Amino acid sequence: MENLTPAEQLQQVQQDYEKRRQNAPETEPEHESMSRVVQEQIRRHEPSFEASSHAPRSIDESMSAEALSKVQQLVAESFPPGKGLWSAIKEAKDSTDAATLDAFHAALTGKLYDELVASKQLKQVA
């Protein structure tokens, strides 16, 4: 599983999302489903990780400019031609900063959700 390309890693996330949606309660918003899938991906590398929220949110503006830049870099690295999702998760975990890992979770969830909306696999909900 660790030998997947960055594109295959994202396909795996999409498949996990689709499985979750099939089994999720009808009341669970699509964004929350994506958030929980991303949380599970992070838990593969950091088993104790618990997202502070599954609701749509933006990156915490109270973070330092350096931390915000790091989160944005990690999200960009998650997508081809970057190193891939798992590499970015490992790097976020290795930062040993729980706030950075949580902000990475929120930003990555938003980006993945937006990608699915853009590819018309999801309808954006207001």
The domain spans of the chain are 6-118
Q: What is the number of other CB atoms lying within 10 angstroms of the CB of residue 1?
A: 8
The pTM score is 0.87
**pLDDT for residue 125 is more than 60:** no
CA-angle at 12, arms to 7 and 13, nearest 5°: 100
Average pLDDT over residues 76-94: 92
pLDDT at residue 123 in the model: 57
Asked if 112 and 34 count as a contact pair (C-beta separation under 8 A), the reply is yes
Chain CA centroid to CA 73, Å: 13
**pLDDT for residue 124 is more than 60:** no
Alpha-carbon span 52 to 37, nearest angstrom = 14
**Percentage of the chain surpassing pLDDT 90?**
53
Alpha-carbon span 101 to 19, nearest angstrom = 25
Of 120 and 20, more confident: 20
Task: Give me the half-sphere count of Cα atoms (radius 13 Å) on the Cβ side of residue 40.
Answer: 13
Read off the pLDDT of residues 25-81 as tens digits, 9 standing for 90 and up: 889 998 999 999 999 999 999 999 999 988 887 766 678 888 889 999 999 999 989
Average pLDDT over residues 72-95: 92
- Find all residues with CB under 8 Å of 21, minimum gap 6, and list them: 30, 33
122 phi-psi bin (left φ>0, alpha ψ -120 to 50, beta other): beta
pLDDT at residue 126 in the model: 43
Alpha-carbon span 106 to 110, nearest angstrom = 6
Average pLDDT over residues 93-101: 87
